Amino acid sequence: MTSPSSDEPNEGATGNGAAGRYYGRGIPYLPIEGYPGKLIAIEGTDGVGRTTQIQLLREWLEVRGYGVVETGWTRSPLMQPTIELAKSSNTLNKLTFVLLYATDFADRLEKEIIPALKAGFVVLTDRYIFTALARAGVRGVDRLWLRNLYGFGIAPHLVFYLSIDVKSLIGRVLQSRGMDFWESGMDLKHGDDIYDSFKTYQQKLLREYASMADEFHFRVVDARRPVDRIQDELRRQVGAFLEPSEKSAEATPAH
Ligand SMILES: Nc1ncnc2c1ncn2[C@@H]1O[C@H](COP(=O)(O)OP(=O)(O)O)[C@@H](O)[C@H]1O
Ligand SMILES: [Mg+2]
């Protein structure tokens, strides 16, 4: 597969996309130049602590006067019931899996994310296209094809990747909500044992995320630490980005 030459417009999602702009052709009828909002993605695998961190970050941003909008996978009102239905049958094909998720993202991008950015909100997204790329990648879907598919997306201003090893992840998940069918990759039929399947699948997913870290400029955050340490780091980096010249942007402790 050849990579596009430099004088051709790039059509797919790559790390070369300018922050805040469409990766590729974008949504052709929806120009997005010069909007005031910011798009911040919190990425990481299942159970790593994204929701916990986003909630704290949101509170902190709101206290500082920012309007915050949250979004996350399968939250499109149009697609949520369809995806739930498809998942509940446990017989989702790879291509339908990928396209249902892409449709969910397209719907939220057009109806939630872009309007919020144009209105000046900070959009916190719980996972972004990287989760879709990682999940499809471990299922053997062609990586270049996937990147081209997501060329309608916007390169976030910041991507935080909550990084963890599989052993720590297992401990965290067992202590909280347990292992579910999809988060364990049971559809990949690594075996009947959900624990073994979770371990194998999550190991592959973590490798897949790691392989994107440099390309897509992930700010890697060590998620094995206590909640407030992680939050302090996020606040420090988000503050420095949103208010680079203000000394007051220094983060206040999380608790
Ligand atoms: N840094 C952390 N250390 C220990 N436990 C954590 C940490 N962050 C989150 N948790 C716990 O792990 C579980 C999963 O966290 P959650 O934020 O729901 O993850 P995600 O949204 O990534 O699936 C919850 O029970 C949460 O309290
Ligand atoms: Mg969550």
User: Quick check: is 30 in a domain?
Assistant: no
Judge whether residue 44 has pLDDT over 50: yes
54 CA: nearest ligand 1 atom: 17
Higher pLDDT, 1 or 46: 46
Residues 64-100: tens digit of each pLDDT: 999 999 999 989 999 999 888 888 877 778 888 899 9
Ligand 2 midpoint to CA 27 (Å): 28
Identity of the residue numbered 210? A
User: Quick check: is 25 in a domain?
Assistant: no
User: Quick check: is 23 in a domain?
Assistant: no
Q: Which residues surround ligand 2, an ion (CB under 5 A)?
A: 51
For residue 156, give the DSSP letter: -
Task: Tell the residue nearest (CA) to atom 26 of ligand 1.
Answer: 49
Percent of the residues in the chain that have a pLDDT greater than 90, as a whole number: 78
Residue 139 · residue 94 · CB < 8 Å = yes
Among 136, 128, 129, residue whose Cα is nearest residue 204: 136
Arithmetic mean of pLDDT, 159-184 = 94
Cα 24 from Cα 10, distance rounded (Å): 5
Residue 40 · residue 238 · CB < 8 Å = yes
Ligand 1 midpoint to CA 173 (Å): 8
Q: What is the pLDDT of residue 87?
A: 83
Ligand 1 midpoint to CA 47 (Å): 6
User: Quick check: is 13 in a domain?
Assistant: no
Q: What is the pLDDT of residue 10?
A: 64
Among 151, 146, 131, residue whose Cα is nearest residue 42: 131
Q: What is the pLDDT of residue 252?
A: 54
| pTM, to two decimals | 0.92
Judge whether residue 2 has pLDDT over 50: no
Domain that holds residue 105: 38-239
Q: What is the pLDDT of residue 14?
A: 93
Cα 174 from Cα 67, distance rounded (Å): 35
Ligand 1 pocket, residues with Cβ under 6 angstroms = 44, 46-52, 172, 176, 226-227, 230
User: Quick check: is 138 in a domain?
Assistant: yes
53 CA: nearest ligand 1 atom: 17
Query: Which ligand is closest in space to the CA of residue 42?
Result: 1
Number of domains in the chain: 1
User: Quick check: is 5 in a domain?
Assistant: no
Percent of the residues in the chain that have a pLDDT greater than 70, as a whole number: 92
Residues 182-192: tens digit of each pLDDT: 899 998 888 88
Instruction: Tally the C-alpha atoms within 13 A of residue 215's C-alpha that lie toward its C-beta.
Output: 10
Identity of the residue numbered 17? G
User: Quick check: is 17 in a domain?
Assistant: no
Query: Residue 169 maps to which CATH number?
Result: 3.40.50.300
User: Quick check: is 195 in a domain?
Assistant: yes
Q: What angle do CA 145, 149, 153 make, to 5 degrees?
A: 140
